A and B are shown apart, each in its own frame.
Chain A
């Protein structure tokens, strides 16, 4: 019987200095142990399990876990109870004689924290849903133990290395951290390195296509982008360059310059298919863009400039100025980084761009609420299907989902595969090979 007077401490270890340790004891093993011991002391016991590991990517940052767990502070202080945070982020609460009117509000509070996620928002909180499971251990110990075994079973009885990131109630990041977090000093070295290294092999491309009524595809443009992981390996091995979005954004300004000078060497006259590049709004006002513009000459119609939503909102005035300036020269402008959630909060059409790129997560259909789907349909009728690109398509299901919403333009790994396959079957007469211009 474990009595917790204080909330389980959630000290954040310093990821730079704390080494990886191999431990046989994990939160999972302690939980399983506890669950087993309850067989003989079931009186008044109850449990609630939250499947945070099942949430969309967006909701799996360490702070989500930390804050969700905090919701239990008061209960943990007042009652005989314990909270487990498993390595995948799932949270299990086990308590004794907890009044319903104390536990219920906490359960609903946790649910409402995650209500942006379809799985959480559609859960009634009473235990029958996918996100929240509730157990009356006294009455049905078997169901409880079975669930715990399932939760822990995914990890098995095998040893789980308790890394600095995974221990002490920290859930893994939605992307595994690739080393030390980025800080200003490291950024400084990175900017210098990025300015100097060769860029061969660092630029990837991805196709955006338009699907016509007959099911044929037509290439809209090829997005040229820097492969961040490879860049990281080349200039800063051991550093997680995406760990701080503001510092990373600063780095992108150097990346913009390099990308522009690299692409400025293309022959735009002979370029058959349009390209797109992601830039900072401010980069368009600087001299590397001037040089690029010169190289593009009268072929601006073959170039689409993409701006991240976050960048645009940092200075809407500058965006509008730059947008008009680019358009006057024949470039097309695209707003990147929108997701179904953004659409609930503002009307992107106010940005008056040529295209809008909207992301879904994986398993798209399951991850969008009915309301968001309707929002997208509304956007399609408002802005037009010829302006909206659904991105990060990694399966046929994604395309079908998009088509169902009235969308016809797509981009993603799966699209690249389609393009490659079509090129193969049609020879060079169709899409042409992907890497060539």
Chain B
């Protein structure tokens, strides 16, 4: 699978165009799929994962049922005979597995709402495909002439090393994280009107990366990344313990590690929690953390619940939901991550997922990363009561606008 080392004009893009042009007489019964790996956030693209993704099509290529092209930007285009649609579906499902469940890294896709795959029927969309191929060739050519182009960022990026981690953690101790602290509301919806229940406070990993670790591939070591989040936790706790004058009203949620809950830093934070915040804090835990040491989780849960914190298990997907029994784990709520790709996976998959979600109590479930109406519609069909995401923020903004208009009107009157 050559990505580099070949002159761009005869690279995979060129081969793709050539192939498509040769298909003009053989359009019937062929399909194509464009897998947008390049749309994954740079730090989610891992070389070996990408190689693995490509190899899922080996069988089909060997049996001459399909041709695969791996573009400069790591996208994969597969052109195949309609008869092997089942194999292609299966391969894509496998690839989704590889990239679909990454709880440590906040966002998987660059633009939320953008799909992982685009599908084509060669006979009815031939012109489109030719245009696409030409565009890709042009883009690749520009790359060879030194113009900025989307070369695989994973290649330009350095992997996160222990040494870098040490430096970053040192910097974190001194850094002013105020500007990186973000807030997103979790709401119920009455029709289109959002009612805020609590807000999640978090440090944007993207911001952090840009400031402290530019061009570093955080996905290269999930373990080091997890260690980083533990350090981050403690800084956030320290920040909040000093909140004092700052008005953080209402209920909030914080992302913390189990290890942090058991640390002296948390005890210190708890000692200093201002009266109005006591009982109004939800602690979000990642499932990898919970399952890494169930004993520690149970112990921590016992301890924090006694102090009136609530627990939310975060980062669940259709893959991991079956493993989590919220009641047994004694968590107050769970947070499910919306992924628009589920809509591409066929009626059965969607129904299965909906059933799974319904089996959990919707009153205790948050659907997050709701980037558009689709997410909310699915959530409502599955009985979910709480929502979070860009679309919700939009609804909140609209509602606020309407309210201020109403206010002005009444004032005028």
- Seen from chain A, the residues whose Cβ lies within 8 Å of a Cβ on chain B are 10, 12, 58-59, 61, 63-64, 66-67, 70, 109, 112-116, 183-185, 187-188, 191, 244-247, 249-250, 253, 282, 285-287, 309-310, 313-318, 320-321, 324-325, 339, 341-342, 344-347, 350
A248 to chain B, nearest CB (A): 8
In the complex, which residue of chain A has the Cβ closest to the Cβ of B99? A317
Contact B291 A313 (CB under 8 A): yes
- Distance between B45 CB and nearest chain A CB, rounded to angstroms: 13
Docked pose: A113 CA to B302 CA in angstroms: 6
Cβ of B329 within 8 Å of any chain A Cβ, yes or no, is: yes
Do the beta carbons of A313 and B222 come within 8 Å of each other? no
Would you call A313 and B323 a contact (CB within 8 A)? yes
Contact at A286–B163, with CB atoms within 8 Å?
no
- Pick from A184, A185, A253, A310: contact of B291, CB under 8 Å: A310
Flag if A185 contacts B49 (CB, 8 Å). no
B223 and A316 within 8 A (CB): no
In Å, the complex CA distance between A116 and B222 comes to 29
Say whether, besides A185-B166, A321-B94, A246 and B52 are in contact (CB < 8 Å): no
Since A317-B98, A345-B328 are in contact, a sample of 15 more A-B pairs with Cβ atoms closer than 8 Å, ordered by chain A residue number, is A64-B299, A67-B267, A67-B303, A109-B306, A113-B303, A184-B163, A184-B166, A246-B223, A246-B224, A247-B162, A250-B221, A282-B46, A282-B48, A316-B319, A346-B325
Docked-complex contact A112 and B302, CB < 8 angstroms: yes
Q: List 24 A-B contacts (CB under 8 A).
A: A10-B264, A59-B295, A59-B299, A63-B299, A113-B303, A184-B166, A184-B224, A184-B227, A244-B227, A246-B230, A247-B162, A250-B221, A310-B288, A313-B288, A313-B323, A315-B102, A316-B320, A317-B102, A320-B319, A321-B95, A339-B294, A345-B294, A345-B328, A346-B323
> Could you tell me if B52 and A185 are in contact, using CB atoms closer than 8 angstroms?
no
The answer to whether B224 and A286 have CB atoms under 8 Å apart is no
Instruction: Contact check, B323 vs A350: say whether CB atoms are below 8 A apart.
Output: yes
Query: When the two chains form their complex, are residues B227 and A67 in contact, meaning their CB atoms are under 8 A apart?
Result: no
- Which residue of B has the minimal Cβ distance to A62? B262
B83-119 residues at the A interface, CB under 8 angstroms: 94-104
- At the interface, is chain A mostly helix, strand, loop or mixed? helix
Which residues does chain A contribute within 8 Å of B320, judged by CB atoms? 313, 316
Assess whether B213 is interfacial by the CB under 8 Å rule. Answer: no
| A167 to B272 CA separation, bound complex (whole angstroms) | 26
Name the interface residues of B224-246: CB closer than 8 Å to any CB of A.
224, 226-227, 230
* Nearest CB of chain B from residue A251's CB, rounded to whole Å: 9
CB distance from A207 to the nearest CB of B (A): 27
Residues B291 and A315 in contact, CB atoms below 8 Å apart: no
Interface string of B68-89 (1 = CB under 8 A from A): 0000000000000000000000
- Cβ–Cβ < 8 Å partners of B149 in chain A: none
Task: Determine whether B263 belongs to the interface, using a CB cutoff of 8 Å to chain A.
Answer: yes
In the complex, A67→B325 CA distance in Å?
A: 26
